[in-house]
Amino acid sequence: MLGYDPQRMQTLHELARAVATHLAGARCTDAAAEPALALTDLVRRRVEEQLLPAIARITASEAMLAWLSSGPGIAGGLSGAALGHEVAERVTELGRHLDGRDAQEMADLLPVAAGDQQALATLFAELDPGELLELVLLIGAHPNTDDARALGAAARATFVAAAEGPGLPTGYVATLVRRNAEIAQEPGYDRRAGTGVALSYLFHGEQLPSAVLVEAVTALRDVELDAAAEWHRDPDEVHRLWLPRFASPVPSYSTLEDDFSVQEQAEDRAHMYGPVLVPRDPMYALLDQLGRDGAAGRALFTDPAIASYVFGGRDVLADGGRRVTAAAAAAAAGRDVVPTAPERLLADAAEVASSFVNHFGPVHGAEAMHHTPDVVAASVAQILGNHMPSVHQSLLSPVHFNPPIAAVAPYKYMPFGDVATGTRAVFDRFALAAVTDLAISRDEGLATMRALTNEYQQRVADAAVGRLARGDFTEPNHALEVFIGEAGLLEGFLVGHIGQHAQHLARSRDDAISFWFDALATSAEAATSVFGGRYSSAIVGAGAGPLADQLKQRFADDEAAAVAQAESEARAAAEALSAVWCRELYEQRLVVPAEMPDRVLASGHLRPWDELSAADRQLVVNLIANTKGRRDIVLDPQTITDQLKLQQADYFDPDN
Amino acid sequence: MPTDPTAAELRRRAASLRRLATHVDGTPIDELVRWAGPDTWVSPRAQQLHAELQTDRLRLRRAADDLRQQAHWLEGQADAANAAAALQAASVVVI
């Protein structure tokens, strides 16, 4: 112990007690809560069995009181630039040797500097990035002791504090990455075996500023491509730069590797390099950070060179793809991607969505399907769902890019008006199909896709009926048929992929399809989902194209069965869509049957579908279908079915 | 209104997971982390405990997010169960 503030220690003690008491109150009998409860128990025990006793030991011993008004005794009263200079000197003096006493002293000294902005500025102005890297390498090679781990944590926290506070000198992070790559290619394997994990460790702590992440990822791409060119290797193998090149003996870097939890490493075993590579390949730690910083992701992934490299140019599947998809989701469909966001942000989000789909789909889609963690399906569904209008436009106007590129276009769709509203992503038809397969391959992703598609279908029906009611179309019944048919095209595309990959879901194919259409019908009762407002017409743009090849293959095998199946699925889709459109026609008073019974109404509005009996549901649809509305509008359910079959014919026709 | 007993059970489970998520989020660990830093005490052990608390804070946040994701999924299942029950109850095809 080198110093403490008695008054703050008292508060610390009270806070630790409060945390332990609060966590002890965590209760839930649901089996799904077990991991969370295990964690709350673990944290509570750490507080009770380690933190509180440590506080008690220290406050009980006056001999340990060494706090000085100008700072802890270890700094010798230094502060500001003098302190920063002192720390830089001592780190440099370590050279390439670190003993236990050095580790302890440095672990005490660095936090003092981390709390002093002027000291931080001086420290990083004087400490060459290479010296910082050498320090982390020394820590990694040091026996895995409490002192070494404490020094590692202190070094990283100081690095993060400098990045957040006074800021690192220009080019500091890029130099750090470049120096790391140089060491990784040095002769001998003792130091270079630790370079990957050393850099990963620095990026694996608290959140770094966006600018640091952008600089780091850009530099990482540059050094990896340089190395690949030098070795005449495929860029997809650049991760080998960070792997030890001798099977045995490989020096242990457990002091740093232990920072990546056992759980994190265990999750990654599906990939041949997974548990080895994730802590050693710095890209994963950076992607982890990007998963919490959508702005940094947009800054990076709107650069075609970076986006094509990260999404489709290098291996990012050692963790099953969880980090790269989370980073893409944060940038393309994160919490800040909302309708009220600035137009520039929404356009960038659309570009990232296009880039992710068009690059990731063809390169990684099929491989990722083999071991897709649930969170990957959820992230991909978040991207596609929030850009559903782009998906829809992609089906209506299919395109194919060879080679893959990211593309955006003005978003214009007739139900919403005759002029463009914002920017949409353009998805390559084949890439979209591959990424859609990923999204719907797990229940979590399927549910997200359904919820967001419901919102979109509701929005289209609402806007289209509004325009019909205003008399915007000279042939309203034809417009209605077209819009419903186009809505059916989207449903047909999605359900086709669901049926094809139902074996990945915790349900049979029929159940999966029933779920899909039943949930669409349900949307007629609950127009506002929990996702309300998470995407806007500005970001919701058109996308790439439908991807029917796999469906075609399925139906090519047995054309008669295929036709029968198409009939059945078109009918199910028609029923579900009828519910959505009937509600809109009635609610906007375009079609109002004279004899609508009171029991199906509440304050003049149709009751939620769930509240109606089956007979009443049928009655409502039949009444609306048999009533000529304003502007001579007539909803013909058979027309909906016919339109759906017509639209889906493109998928079901083996010759197409 | 939910009519399917399975849906009601799924919603009950979702609600209990959301309650736990709220409880986890309510842990005053942000303040604890703030006070456990070098402004309060300086030593290797203090540094290590501080770093572990920072990691725990992150894990608790993720755990709460996971609970909400799970709850959301259960609610989606409940919606689906309701819709399935309604359709099953319908003896005549609508169209």
Report phi then psi at A97, rounded to 5.
-135, 135
Q: Out of A1, A36, A149, whose CB is closest to B66?
A: A36
- pLDDT of B55 reads 85
Question: Nearest-CA distance from B25 to chain A in Å?
Answer: 10
C-alpha dist (Å) from residue B84 to A54, A137, A344, B80: 57, 59, 42, 6
- pLDDT score recorded for residue A398: 92
Name the closest residue on chain A to residue B83, using Cα atoms. Answer: A518
Q: Are A16 and A47 in contact (CB under 8 A)?
A: yes
Joined tokens for residue B15: 């609600």
Q: Measured between CB atoms, which of A9, A618, A641 is closest to B41?
A: A9
Asked whether the beta carbons of B83 and A519 are under 8 A apart, the reply is: yes
Query: Two tokens at A289?
Result: 């950070």
CB pairs under 8 A between A and B: 221
Q: Which residues of chain A have pLDDT under 50?
A: 1, 62-72, 247-249, 263, 269, 523-564, 651-656
Q: Find the length of chain B.
A: 95
In this prediction, residue A308 carries a pLDDT of 96
CB-nearest partner of A153 from B3, B40, B47: B47
At A548 the pLDDT is 27
Compute the C-alpha angle A335/A341/A344, nearest 5°. 115
CA of B52, closest CA in chain A: separation in Å? 9
- The pLDDT of residue A513: 65
The beta-strand segments (E) located in A547-620 are 601-602, 605-606
A:596-625 residues touching chain B, CB 8 A cutoff: 608-611, 613-615, 617-618, 621-622
* Strand pairing category for B41-42 and A605-606: unpaired
Q: What is the CA radius of gyration of chain A?
A: 30
Q: Which two tokens stand for residue A179?
A: 């120096």
Token reading at A351: 């570009």
Q: Are strands B41-42 and A3-4 parallel, antiparallel or unpaired?
A: antiparallel
At a CB cut-off of 8 Å and minimum separation 6, what does A233 contact?
Answer: A227, A240
Three-class secondary structure of residue A412 per DSSP: coil
Nearest residue, CB atoms, B95 vs list A146, A518, A637: A637
B65: closest CA of chain A, how far (Å): 10
Which residues does chain A have within 8 Å of residue B95's beta carbon, measured at their own beta carbons?
571, 574-575, 578, 621, 637-638, 640-641
- Residues of B whose CB is below 8 A from A1: 41, 43, 45-46
> What's the Rg (C-alpha) of chain B?
22
Residue B10: list chain A partners with CB under 8 A.
none
Per DSSP, A66 falls in state -
DSSP state of A270: T
Best of A323, A520, A522 to disrupt the B interface (most B CBs within 10 Å) is A522
pLDDT at position A489: 84
Instruction: Give the contacts of A563 (CB within 8 A, at least 6 positions apart).
Output: A555, A652
Question: How many other β-carbons are positioned within 10 Å of the β-carbon of residue A251?
Answer: 14
Inter-chain CB proximity A33 and B29 less than 8 Å: no
Residues of B in Cβ contact (< 8 Å) with A108: 42-44, 47
Which is nearest to A324 in space by CA: A418, A406, A415, A438? A438
Q: What is the pLDDT of residues A380-436, one digit of tens each?
A: 999 999 999 999 999 999 999 999 999 999 998 989 888 878 899 999 999 999 999
* Predicted local confidence at residue A444, as pLDDT: 74
Nearest to A636 by CA among A653, A646, A624: A624
Report CA A385 to chain centroid distance, whole Å: 13
- Within A371-475, residue ranges assigned H as helices are 374-386, 388-396, 429-439, 443-470
| Strands A67-68, A407-410: pairing kind | unpaired
For residue A311, what pLDDT is reported? 96
d(CA A63, CA A367): 61
- The verdict on a CB contact (< 8 Å) between B47 and A447 is no
ipTM: 0.92
- Quick check: helix, strand or coil at residue A540? coil
Return the pLDDT at A65.
45
Q: Helices A322-333 and A294-301 meet at what angle, rounded to 10?
A: 90
Q: Are A487 and A459 in contact (CB under 8 A)?
A: no
